Every structure is written in structure tokens, then in C-alpha cells.
Amino acid sequence: MAEIIRVYKEHLPELRLIGKCYTSADRGGDGGYGHLWGEWFQNGWFEILEGQGEIKEIDNGYLGFMRCNGNDVENSFEYWIGMFFSPRTPVPEGFQSIDLAESDVGLCWIKGSDSDGSIYRMNDECIAKLEENGMRDFKSDENNREYIFERYNCPRFTEKDEQGNVILDYGIYLSE
């Protein structure tokens, strides 16, 4: 069973997300995007991005970055797979980018098994924990989309503990 083991605020500088954008139409038979992550590893797309230079100022990792308007999820949902970079980092051919303003983010560390999928279904619990900790005002852009991400940090996510658990970072951009 997955559990939230840490809740905190992190400050992110101005960043560029570089990756590929998917919509609800790209979901797999299980309703998720796992098959696309397999495609990323198979095609070496993370290796291409890593060649753009690592940003050292933040806790980084591979990202599942989501943005959507809660009033129109079906038509506005985007799921990006990619990484954060310094602003103005060149975007390799075949990739897209989003420029993100400096901001605070509310973060939860979710500990559990990645094989049973429970760590990926903690959205409501994370929002409740962030709100309990005074992080209630989620940032929205000009299209009323909130920005949420899963950060697959090394070694938290890549090295299992004695019980076979990993830690997934779950973040939401906060208003000023």
C-alpha cells in the first residue's frame, strides 16, 4: 500500500520542460501512459535529452508532467514525458517545450510499490496533504490549467528498499 511520507514546499527557478506532449487519446488500454514510457526508453529519447546538459540547481529526474483545466479535463489534458532544463536550452528536433516561470511547488513523497501501481493513484491524497500543510492555492495559467508532475528521481525512485518500495515525487505548482 502506498503512503505519503513527506510533504514540503520547494522553490523552482525559471525552467524549460523539454519532452513530448500526449493527450487522453494516447492512453493505453489500462488508461495510463506506461506504454509510452517504454517507447521512450526503447528509442533512447532520454539519452538525447540528457545530452542537452543537466540542470544542477534543482532536484531533477525524468518527469510525467501534466497540465489541464479542471473544468474541461477531457479537452484540455496534456501528459508530457520529459525533463527540466535551464531556460533557453535548445530543443532537439522531434521534441517540444514549455517555458515555466519561477515558482514554488508543493511536493509529496509517495512511498510504495511501483509494480502494483498504487503510487500512481495518490492524486487526491496528495492534494489533501498539501492543503493540510497550508498549500491550498494552486497556480493556473492563462488557460486555467494547473501544472502537476511526477518526478522519477534517482536514487529515490530507481533504488528499491528492503521491502521493494520506491519513492515517487508528486508536485503541484503553487500560486504566489
- Minimum mean pLDDT among 53-62, 101-110, 128-137: which range? 53-62
pLDDT value at 176 more than 70:
no
Percent of the chain past pLDDT 90, that is, above it, reads 78
pLDDT given for residue 70 in this prediction: 83
**Any idea which fold 3-173 has?**
Multidrug-efflux Transporter 1 Regulator Bmrr; Chain A (3.20.80)
First to last CA, the chain: 34
Is 96 strand, coil or helix?
A: strand
What global pTM score does this model have? 0.93
Q: In the chain, what are the domain boundaries?
A: 3-173
- In 10 A of CB 44, how many CB atoms? 10
At 86, list the grid cell: 535551464
Q: What is the mean pLDDT of the chain?
A: 93
* Long-range CB contact pairs, 21-30, < 8 A, 24+: 21/78, 21/79, 21/80, 21/96, 22/78, 22/79, 22/80, 22/81, 23/77, 23/78, 23/79, 24/74, 24/77, 26/79
